Structure 1
Amino acid sequence: MTTTIKSKAQSYLEKPLFATLIINWEIVLYTLIFIVAVTTRFYDLGIRVMSHDESLHALYSFKLYNGEGYTHDPLMHGPLQFHLVALAYLIFGDNDFSARVPAALFGVALVMLPVWFRPWLGRLGALVTSFGLLISPLLLYYDRYIRNESFIAFFTALLALSLFQFMRTRKQLWLYAGAVAVSLSLSTKEVAFIHGFIGVVFIAAAFAWEKLTLKRFQQMLIGLLAIAVALFAAMIFFNASAGVEDGGIANASTFAGILMMVTGLLLGVLTIALNVDRRNKPIASMLALFKFKIQNSKFKNADQSQTASYKKPETRNLKPETQNAFNVLVGPVLLAAALFFLLHTTFFTNPAGFVSGTWGAVSYWLRQQEVARGGQPGYYYLMLMPMYEFLPFFLGGIGGLVYLFKKAPSFGDAGEPVSRWESEQVSRGAGGKVSKESTPAHPLTSPPAHLHPSDGGTFSAYLIFWAISGFVIYSWAGEKMPWLTVHITLPFIFLMGHVTQAVFNKFDWGVFKRRDALVFAFLLPLLASALLTLFSVKPFQGKSISEIQTTSQFLITLLAAAAIVYGLWRAGRALGRRFTWPIAYLLVFIILSVLTIRFAVMSSFVNYDYTNEFLVYAHGAPDVKWMLGEIDDISRRTVGDRQIKVAYGGVIWPLEWYMRQYPNRAFYGSAPTRDALDAPLVIVSPDSDVTLADVEPYLGDNYQRFDYRQVWWPIEDYRDQSFKRFWHNYIVPASGEDVNVTYSIATTPEQIKENRKWLWNVLFYHRVDNHSFNEWPRRSCFG
């Protein structure tokens, strides 16, 4: 007799760790990115003074947390931020740090989101995209800032992910994810309408390009290109008639601005045509699903092929429910509506919030475009992006241009082209054989048995269209603010990741074991340095000692450059073009990454309280916390911790947020009274309604006065620029009739040299030499 001993089932907790966890270099790199993202987003998060808008968001979130309720106001955008910040107060207490925690958390989530974009970015491309999101100066700064940008950037990327994941897997889960992303976007900020418009136009244009016959496709392409050229010529004409060349680009007519936006959108639609997958038609295939009527039954055989025909319901002893695509969308739509209603009404406590969050929000911000707060010129974002976002602007932008002439490749999870294997998967029938005509069953009834076409150039077409349309729409809009540059930067970062994967898709990294590759990589930056030196000196100017030294420097550098070029030619010839271009790209990538990291560190950890950084506006000055420290010190020495009476009035932001900590505060606003000003400490922040002269009669002569900076703005010498003005200030001095203009331009080579030095200090060091922080011209003060 044989005895069988059953082995005891091993519990999950008893299993060896590395039996279920496989650690590779990809996981290690993502882990490092996550650690750095958490560190950079949360380190010293509360040290910076609240800016004007931040203090509004922080205080009204505090009122919600404190039981005073919340009423939606389009002025401060959507309600989601206020609910999240109130929750952070509940967990961590009310302070500057906890107020910024939700934005920082969403910033970290956005950095890690490209992991799920690997089917379209490739493994390397997704890693590079996460790296780009990690080091982006604009994203990093506003991930540490109580604004809506961190939230809306995450939801925008999540919406794009939901679209392409649903296109690829047909899982209804991604419809719900997209619905949540749409609802929370609309509950965050009104720019969600811009991003939604971009997405809808892309889907409609891609669908049209996919469905057109080849002849109609070519005709439409030529026709739209001709219209775009005509619109561009009209835009140039109206700009010239508006005096742009002499009076600044900001003087361009409103009609010319509309022409610019329409031309940009039309060019974006044309870029879709150049990369759309007309063979597999992923957009048309996805939209075709919503024409079908489907059987929403729970099949006993979950593995049944989707291409099989349905049996009669009665043979299955099941109760089938026939529904069309409209019914399938009911769940996601209802979820989105419920979230929107709950947030805007603050969980039914403010029913009017539903109206203010729909028509009220749209009408308010459309009116604000006419106000054009900030008054920035049309080239504002074109100036701001290359000052900070070196990596995405140059690599993503140039790579996108290359894709217009060379169709963008597609990548799978492993970084290999997916159009081939996706097509094979889609064309396989139930038996696994390839068939020319296989009818894809509707996937919403059960999990898909295979993947569906979702790229073939479609994803890169979406990124290019997103980048172009976002740039032109935000540049056309009346209100231009530095934080909106976040939404322009985001698609460029994804595009940069896609381009990087394309460059290194078939690259053999073992080439760096070869001496030729190391020599090439070493000499290339030396050539760039030599060329920079050659173009920065002027030889043969005279016979003085300094001029002879300059000439000698030029000749020696010229000989060195020639030797470097010869070495590069030898090494490049041995390597072949297959390796030289990727190595050159890698070196440029490293240099631009270093520059991007430098400016990210400068803006978020060095100059965070100062307005020599151009990515801020209405910025809180460091004096605010200095003054609060002095008030706390006086209070402790006299009446106890923050028990002293403080009277304040005039411009209250960001003071109102900090004054909540003083229970004996007295706010006199624009109407000072003796009772309110009967306090040992009085703060006066002058505005149009109240000045120091209105307060002094109540103070008498027995007081000491201290002046502080409250809110300040960057220097805006970049306004009203034109090509002619730039040319004569930094390239060639003006002469003759060009001197007789209403604005200042350089007329001598010495002035050109000084202007270049000033511009270099502004661009590289963010230092405005003709203004000191103590005498900053664009500031509001209090005392």
Structure 2
Amino acid sequence: MNTETKNWLDRPIHPLLPQIKNDIFLFSIIILLAFITRFYDLETRAMSHDESLHTYFSWLLYRGQGYQHNPMMHGPLQFHLLSLSYFLFGVTDFTSRIPSVIFSIATVWIVWYWRRYLGKAGALIAAFLMVISPYMLYYGRYVRNESFAGLSGILMLFAILRYLEAGKKRYLYLVSLSLVIHFTAKETAFIYAAQALIFLATYFVAQVTRRPWVGAETNYRAFIIFLSLGLLLVGSALGYGLFIHGGATITGTETASPANPEMPVSMQDAQSPGETVISILVLVGILALGGAFIYLITGYGWENIRNNYSFGLLILIGTIVLPMLAPFPIKFLEKWLQVSIPTTAGEVTALYSSSDFLLGLPRDITVIGTIIVLLFILSSIVGLLWNREWWRPYLFFWAVFIVLYTTVFTNSSGFFTGLTGSLGYWLVQQGVERGSQPWYYYIAIQIPIYEFLPVLGGLLAIYLGFHKLSAKNPSSLLGDNPDPEKESNNSSIENEPASITNPDSLERNFGNTFGLLVWWSISSIIALSYAGERMPWLTYHMTWPMILLAGWGIAELIKKVKCENLSPTRLFLSIATTGLVIITVYQSISALTGITPPFQGKNLANLEATNAFLLPAVVAIISITALFYLLKEDLTGLIVVALIALFSIGLIGSITTAISFPANPLAEDRSPLSIEIRLAITILISLGSLIGLFFIKKSAGNTTFPIIVVMTFLACLTVLTVRASFRAAYKNYDSAEEYLVYAHGAPGIKQVMAQAKEISNRTTGGMGLAMAYDASAPDTGVSWPFVWYLRDYTNQRSFDQPTKSLRESVFVIVDA
């Protein structure tokens, strides 16, 4: 931001409170809003299908009946946190949602530490956008894993940026913490890890190749050749796999998650016809990459590689993830080894029942265990070669992982279901394509309807960011990391820049921050759009990186406002007046082009149409006149915006006129030349305004009014975003009208339970009402969520087909 705004954010809110500055005060308000919006009316909404699965099995754990990890319901972290919430606060819908709410608020809070990379204004804007985001609000109040994954993602990106900047060991522990939160919460952790590894690998290669290796030019060229060949082969394998990819889409009655988690998971054959070709390409590509790495070591030097911060992050994340990639070699060798990936506790137990193999050990568990042990050994060798203290964050990850997946060592099968079953199960589900959503589900439906503000703010940030980079050295995108030849091992670095928001630090880290956020935003959309299972809640994972990017972009836009001749009051009035101009001009055009145009007659309908046009038109003229007065020092900016508006109107008019051109130009009922004249006029308007923009650009300089227009437009989008969030979270929360829900609950659920409770209290004096509920195949009837709501009723039973025994039940719940 500019100096004046910086000074304002750094000023205390009152001379008597010098420690509380304006930025702290504003962020406190944002956190307060996060608390209010997340906790308000939290219990009213009925549990959905998926929520009831999570809450019921967490309740069983709370009651001491144990918990067995099942990949269908994702990781164990949520179940342990829910049972803890029940222990502390009791068992209700409200307490079930407390863990998600806490992690959602923590996600907003952690943005405070991003001031170093987004600036103070950027962090404040990003935090506010997270508070009002429809997806981050709705799923921050939902018993799902999205809020856990979102917090871990923001934490991981922050830790990556801090380690690339400072190289301190504490940030390796932070990376490990973020990974263990995500890997114990949801399998989207594999996508996040892949995104981080690709970014870091690209960053590392860009750093080591930014200039030829002195005295090792041959190795440098060989490294480039082998690396290019390896990437080409692996990329070809990926492209071929995408080309032949196809999965059988299930029927419309089977789009929801499996309703009965006790049923065994079917690991269908997911092999593609071109599996052999893909395997050969990948194998040769890996060999080429191995050759490139050998030339890298011999030419660049192992010590220089070890001391590179991005390489250290690659090693840590890669070695942590490597053992969890065991499903790939197991699946690849399945034909020869005759073993399958265990995904449930029952399947793990079945492995022990296989024939004896070696020293009396069951064959199947020995084969799978050997693959896992080899991967652990490989990761340990690689990690220790990089740094002898690598094992500390590595051990921290696996200690937490094992404790949670084994439910504090009470479920030994959980180690295998977490290590191999999580990835194995969800790889198969991508071929099933539950939900049957099209590939454009996110970019054409979910994001435009709900998260239009982050995506437009992100596009603005990308434009401003590349414009900023073009004015600097292109290598600035690689950050300002120290030369490894002049630095000692990263573990010895102890000093950090003093100020967390030092302008020099912000500029120095801009390349890293911008590159990482742009990559994360784009790759998230691509990866989740390609994945076979496209569900609305996955939009959450695309939203938060776009919000961080938009926060920086909007702050950068504000920075460009020239305040020398524009006081804060006049700036505010200019924005308000611009908004009024946009609204009234839109209303005038709508009235002019509506079904009943103005000035068509004197009856009541025509007079109302005329009034609907004249009133906003008059207000628009007055507002435009006021704008000329408020921005009389920036008439060039006004002209620029006017020309842009004319160009847009002319372009839209040309397109609509061309579309409406008749198929038969010689038709008798067509007004002669009317469409041709309109088309010519709209084209002339577009060309004339475009020519005017070209000539005025030379003298325009840095004008203020176009920025004010963009800021006003973003402010209008903010209002619409708040409206969308409010409607989804507090108005339509119990209806399926919103596109951001799936397998949703309904008001009838709690209405039925209220009636059941009243009848039970009146007839039995407690919860002993004789009840029966429909659990008929194939979708188990009303079992979910009613299994959760019937948990305290002592005389309940389920039925598949109605029989005479139902006459014994006073209260029967059936599927519609």
For residues 65 and 570 of structure 1, the distance between their equivalents in structure 2, rounded to whole angstroms, comes to: 68
Aligned residue runs from structure 1 range 767-782, under 5 A:
781=816
Note the C-alpha offset of 1:553: 6.4
Match of 2:78, SS state, is helix
Note the C-alpha offset of 1:287: 3.2
- Is 1:610 aligned to residue 708 of structure 2? no
Q: TM-score, normalised by structure 1?
A: 0.66
- Is 1:371 aligned to residue 432 of structure 2? yes
The 8 Å contact of residues 290 and 325 in structure 1, kept in 2 or not, is answered as no
Equivalent position to 1:349, from 397, 402, 410: 410
Note the C-alpha offset of 1:29: 1.1
Equivalent position to 2:53, from 37, 56, 63: 56
Aligned residue runs from structure 1 range 629-644, under 5 A:
629-644=754-769
1:746 matched to which residue of 2?
A: none
- Aligned residue type for 1:588: F
1:621 matched to which residue of 2?
A: 746
Note the C-alpha offset of 1:52: 0.3
Cα shift readout 1:632-667 (whole Å, capped 9, x = no counterpart): 111122211222111122211100001111111122
For residues 135 and 568 of structure 1, the distance between their equivalents in structure 2, rounded to whole angstroms, comes to: 30
CA gap of 1:677–1:512, structure 2 versus 1, over 3 A, is farther
Note the C-alpha offset of 1:560: 6.5
- Is 1:447 aligned to residue 494 of structure 2? yes
CA gap of 1:454–1:351, structure 2 versus 1, over 3 A, is farther
For residues 677 and 393 of structure 1, the distance between their equivalents in structure 2, rounded to whole angstroms, comes to: 57
- Is 1:399 aligned to residue 461 of structure 2? yes
CA gap of 1:676–1:120, structure 2 versus 1, over 3 A, is same
1:742 matched to which residue of 2?
A: none
- Aligned residue type for 1:487: H
Equivalent position to 2:726, from 587, 601, 611: 601
Note the C-alpha offset of 1:116: 0.9
For residues 22 and 63 of structure 2, the distance between their equivalents in structure 1, rounded to whole angstroms, comes to: 47
- Is 1:479 aligned to residue 528 of structure 2? no
2:542 matched to which residue of 1?
A: 488
- Is 1:79 aligned to residue 133 of structure 2? no
1:659 matched to which residue of 2?
A: 790
Match of 1:162, SS state, is helix
For residues 206 and 291 of structure 1, the distance between their equivalents in structure 2, rounded to whole angstroms, comes to: 10
Equivalent position to 2:145, from 137, 148, 167: 148
Aligned residues: 571
For residues 135 and 786 of structure 2, the distance between their equivalents in structure 1, rounded to whole angstroms, comes to: 26
The 8 Å contact of residues 183 and 189 in structure 2, kept in 1 or not, is answered as yes
CA gap of 1:528–1:19, structure 2 versus 1, over 3 A, is closer
- Aligned residue type for 2:521: A
Match of 1:151, SS state, is helix
Note the C-alpha offset of 1:589: 2.9
Note the C-alpha offset of 1:42: 1.3
1:574 matched to which residue of 2?
A: 633
For residues 497 and 461 of structure 2, the distance between their equivalents in structure 1, rounded to whole angstroms, comes to: 32
CA gap of 1:503–1:86, structure 2 versus 1, over 3 A, is same
Cα shift readout 1:574-627 (whole Å, capped 9, x = no counterpart): 147453344333322322221111111111111111111111111111101101
The 8 Å contact of residues 647 and 682 in structure 1, kept in 2 or not, is answered as yes
For residues 36 and 305 of structure 2, the distance between their equivalents in structure 1, rounded to whole angstroms, comes to: 40
2:357 matched to which residue of 1?
A: none
Cα shift readout 1:669-709 (whole Å, capped 9, x = no counterpart): x1555556512112222xxxxxxxxxxxxxxxxxxxxxxxx
Aligned residue runs from structure 1 range 198-209, under 5 A:
198-209=195-206
For residues 131 and 487 of structure 2, the distance between their equivalents in structure 1, rounded to whole angstroms, comes to: 40
CA gap of 1:510–1:326, structure 2 versus 1, over 3 A, is same
Equivalent position to 2:391, from 319, 324, 330: 330
The 8 Å contact of residues 117 and 510 in structure 2, kept in 1 or not, is answered as no
For residues 654 and 195 of structure 1, the distance between their equivalents in structure 2, rounded to whole angstroms, comes to: 31
Note the C-alpha offset of 1:536: 1.8
Match of 2:709, SS state, is helix
For residues 305 and 564 of structure 2, the distance between their equivalents in structure 1, rounded to whole angstroms, comes to: 36
- Aligned residue type for 2:527: I
CA gap of 1:26–1:180, structure 2 versus 1, over 3 A, is same
1:158 matched to which residue of 2?
A: 155
For residues 462 and 43 of structure 2, the distance between their equivalents in structure 1, rounded to whole angstroms, comes to: 38
CA gap of 1:357–1:518, structure 2 versus 1, over 3 A, is closer
The 8 Å contact of residues 75 and 183 in structure 2, kept in 1 or not, is answered as yes
CA gap of 1:498–1:408, structure 2 versus 1, over 3 A, is farther
Note the C-alpha offset of 1:41: 1.0
Note the C-alpha offset of 1:400: 2.2
The 8 Å contact of residues 167 and 493 in structure 2, kept in 1 or not, is answered as no
- Aligned residue type for 1:475: S
The 8 Å contact of residues 307 and 490 in structure 2, kept in 1 or not, is answered as no
For residues 516 and 291 of structure 1, the distance between their equivalents in structure 2, rounded to whole angstroms, comes to: 51
For residues 28 and 465 of structure 2, the distance between their equivalents in structure 1, rounded to whole angstroms, comes to: 32
Match of 1:407, SS state, is helix
For residues 613 and 181 of structure 2, the distance between their equivalents in structure 1, rounded to whole angstroms, comes to: 60
For residues 417 and 85 of structure 2, the distance between their equivalents in structure 1, rounded to whole angstroms, comes to: 25
- Aligned residue type for 2:743: A
Note the C-alpha offset of 1:58: 0.3
For residues 623 and 174 of structure 1, the distance between their equivalents in structure 2, rounded to whole angstroms, comes to: 49
CA gap of 1:603–1:548, structure 2 versus 1, over 3 A, is closer
Match of 1:376, SS state, is coil
Cα shift readout 1:484-515 (whole Å, capped 9, x = no counterpart): 11001111100111102212236566865377
Deviates more, 1:553-562 or 1:70-79: 553-562
Note the C-alpha offset of 1:552: 8.2
Q: CA RMSD in A?
A: 4.0
Note the C-alpha offset of 1:375: 0.8
Match of 1:327, SS state, is coil
CA gap of 1:605–1:526, structure 2 versus 1, over 3 A, is same
Match of 1:98, SS state, is helix
- Aligned residue type for 2:728: S
Cα shift readout 1:721-771 (whole Å, capped 9, x = no counterpart): xxxxxxxxxxxxxxxxxxxxxxxxxxxxxxxxxxxxxxxxxxxxxxxxxxx
For residues 532 and 142 of structure 2, the distance between their equivalents in structure 1, rounded to whole angstroms, comes to: 23
Aligned residue runs from structure 1 range 205-284, under 5 A:
205-213=202-210
Match of 1:457, SS state, is helix
Match of 1:189, SS state, is coil
For residues 611 and 806 of structure 2, the distance between their equivalents in structure 1, rounded to whole angstroms, comes to: 74
Equivalent position to 2:182, from 180, 185, 189: 185
- Provide the identity percentage: 33
For residues 144 and 671 of structure 1, the distance between their equivalents in structure 2, rounded to whole angstroms, comes to: 36
For residues 123 and 599 of structure 1, the distance between their equivalents in structure 2, rounded to whole angstroms, comes to: 27
- Is 1:457 aligned to residue 511 of structure 2? yes
- Aligned residue type for 1:286: Y
Match of 2:740, SS state, is coil
For residues 171 and 541 of structure 1, the distance between their equivalents in structure 2, rounded to whole angstroms, comes to: 69
For residues 642 and 360 of structure 1, the distance between their equivalents in structure 2, rounded to whole angstroms, comes to: 39
Aligned residue runs from structure 1 range 651-690, under 5 A:
651=781, 652-668=783-799, 670-672=800-802, 674-675=804-805, 677-685=807-815
The 8 Å contact of residues 290 and 326 in structure 1, kept in 2 or not, is answered as no
Note the C-alpha offset of 1:169: 2.5
1:741 matched to which residue of 2?
A: none
For residues 760 and 615 of structure 2, the distance between their equivalents in structure 1, rounded to whole angstroms, comes to: 68
- Aligned residue type for 2:788: W
The 8 Å contact of residues 409 and 457 in structure 1, kept in 2 or not, is answered as no
Match of 1:647, SS state, is strand
1:390 matched to which residue of 2?
A: 452
- Is 1:98 aligned to residue 69 of structure 2? no
Cα shift readout 1:243-281 (whole Å, capped 9, x = no counterpart): xxxxxxxxxxx99xxxxxxxxxxxxxxxxxxxxxxxxx9
The 8 Å contact of residues 467 and 488 in structure 1, kept in 2 or not, is answered as yes
For residues 447 and 586 of structure 1, the distance between their equivalents in structure 2, rounded to whole angstroms, comes to: 42
CA gap of 1:109–1:362, structure 2 versus 1, over 3 A, is same
For residues 552 and 19 of structure 1, the distance between their equivalents in structure 2, rounded to whole angstroms, comes to: 55
The 8 Å contact of residues 167 and 283 in structure 1, kept in 2 or not, is answered as no
Match of 1:682, SS state, is strand
For residues 543 and 642 of structure 1, the distance between their equivalents in structure 2, rounded to whole angstroms, comes to: 69
For residues 463 and 115 of structure 2, the distance between their equivalents in structure 1, rounded to whole angstroms, comes to: 22
CA gap of 1:155–1:511, structure 2 versus 1, over 3 A, is farther
2:589 matched to which residue of 1?
A: 535
- Aligned residue type for 2:73: M
- Aligned residue type for 1:359: T
Note the C-alpha offset of 1:390: 3.2
